Amino acid sequence: SLDPLKYHQSLAVYTYVTQGYALVMLQMLIFSLVLQEFSVAVMGYTACQLLLYVTHMALSPPVATMGMMQAELLSWTDEAVAKPFFLRLLNHNDAFLVLTDVEFNELDKASKEGGRLKRLFDDAKGQKLSLGL
């Protein structure tokens, strides 16, 4: 699973790995069709699975770091309804995002100067991640 790579300090690592996986699989599928050998597709799949395993082991942050970040994602507001917003956002895959009024108001309040998420919004604008340790 590549989910731990979502917590990597470089935001592009997850994208690079998933796109690389897709390109290698496509290449092996094309080779398999051209050569009319199913074994090439199996070999490509096996190589990609090995790539995912090695990437996960080499680039995933420590479990303690992921736990710390999840705790931070839950503690951004005192409003109980809005607390799980960022964990929901982390696993969001749709083309659109639905916010409740409470979530929107809490995000707006937290993004203003002196708000709890001002630094997070600054990081997002600068496309970087600072943990503040």
Closest to 84 (Cα-Cα) out of 72, 92, 73, 94: 73
**pLDDT digit string, tens, across residues 60-116:** 888 888 788 788 778 878 888 888 888 888 778 888 888 889 888 888 888 888 877
Does the structure show a pLDDT above 70 at 133? no
Residue 90 is which amino acid? Answer: L
Residue 103 is which amino acid? Answer: E
The model's pTM is 0.52
**pLDDT digit string, tens, across residues 16-31:** 888 888 999 999 999 9
